[in-house]
Amino acid sequence: MTFFNSRSIRPGSLSCSAREPDRLLRPGDKAWEGVRKVIRIMKLQDSGRRLPALCLFLMLLSILLPAGCKERETSSATGVQVKSSAKSDSRRVGYVASPLLGPLYAAGTAERRWETVRFGTAGDVGYALIAGEIDAGFVETEKALELLKAPGGETLKIVGAVQFPYGATLVVRKDLKLRLTDLAGRHIAALEPDCIINHQFNTDARRLGLDPKKIRYSYMPFDQMLPALESKSIDGALVKAAYAVLAEFQGHKVIYQNWDIDAGGDECCPASIAQTEYFLVVREQAPEKVKPLVEALTAAGDLPPSKIREAVSQQLGYPKEALEQFPVAAFAVVSDEQRKLLGEKRCLILH
């Protein structure tokens, strides 16, 4: 099972919790300065006296590190990091920083009855859901399906989905200056040979003067393509549009797009999954407890796209201008087709 990812601590910082990467001891903190003083003492001492100093260091660290972790910071809908002031009956919603979660960032700016908690990975959101640390969480589609099958996943249900318009997009690595006609001999990742995205791209490439047979293809899942770009294992990736947004967020470049593709056009891209980027997964609970959140997420769909882009920009510090070339994501309650795919018992239906 690939759902659970190994955790790491950022270089140069002490993490209070792998599930809360923003809560760190930083220069200027009292706890941090205390640790630095002990380190300076150890450097000045000779090797015979370092062992007692090391013991003192570990004792202080055990005291100071929890002190630095006492205050949880949560993200407001406007993107400002604020201390939690939610009421005791509020819902706690986990998420990862993604430009595809615009509906969450824009939802319920007034009278909000939930707090958002940012995590480093979808795996961490899943751990927190199973452990009962949060009440709901946005988990990437495939990982959400794995989560439901994981030990403890039987207590979880899917209540809705964040969807993004489909489309074929070719992204090239950030360090390369390539045009479409320069791709002959280049190494490009694609989902699989017999996929509607590939068929559309090959048709457009021939029309624009590129022989697609001269491209070196490697086939892999979409979620492996961006890491492959980052590691320079490939020169480009043929992805659905949602992954193009993520690629732009990482600095890579879009050189081809075609929006005239319908999800579900072949077996590799079923419509109920292909346009779903995140499932909203909740712990078993009375429907009325999550209803305010779901209603606010749904209502965000009535906002002008510019408001969604503004919310994404404020939350992530991403330029609004870069978002304007893409449509915006929308939230919808779980559909009849998704209920058939997931099973009635795995879905929470709100009335």
Residue type, 62: S
Say which range, 139-143, 183-187, 192-196, has the weakest mean pLDDT: 192-196
At residue 323, the pLDDT reads 87
Cβ proximity of 239 and 225 under 8 Å: yes
**Who has greater pLDDT, 65 or 316?**
316
pLDDT tens per residue, range 189-227: 998 888 888 888 999 999 999 999 999 999 998 889 999
pLDDT tens per residue, range 238-264: 998 888 888 988 899 999 999 887 665
At residue 210, the pLDDT reads 93
CA 342 to chain CA mean position, Å: 22
At residue 31, the pLDDT reads 44
Class of domain 73-164+275-346: alpha beta
Give the separation between CA 153 and CA 126, rounded to whole angstroms. Answer: 9
Give the separation between CA 201 and CA 170, rounded to whole angstroms. Answer: 8
**Who has greater pLDDT, 78 or 138?**
138
Instruction: Point out which residues pair with 168 in neighbouring strands.
Output: 240, 258
Task: Determine the average pLDDT of the residues in 286-312.
Answer: 88
83 pLDDT exceeds 90? no
Q: For 168-258, which CATH superfamily applies? A: Periplasmic binding protein-like II (3.40.190.10)
280-311 burial: b if 16+ Cβ within 10 Å, else e:
bbbbeeeeebbebbbebbbebbebeeeebbbb
Neighbours of 110 (CB within 10 A): 6
Task: Determine the average pLDDT of the residues in 104-132.
Answer: 87
pLDDT level of residue 328 (50, 70, 90 thresholds):
very high
What DSSP string runs through 53-118? Answer: HHHHHHHHHHHHHHHHTSSPEEE-TTS-EEE----TT-EEEEEE--TT-HHHHHS--SS--EEEEE
Order across the sheet with 330-333: list the strands. 81-83, 73-75, 114-119, 91-96, 136-140, 276-283, 156-163, 330-333
pLDDT tens per residue, range 269-280: 566 677 789 999
Cβ proximity of 301 and 131 under 8 Å: no
**Mean pLDDT (the chain, rounded):** 76
Ranges for all domains in the chain classified under CATH 3.40.190.10: 73-164+275-346, 168-258
pTM: 0.69
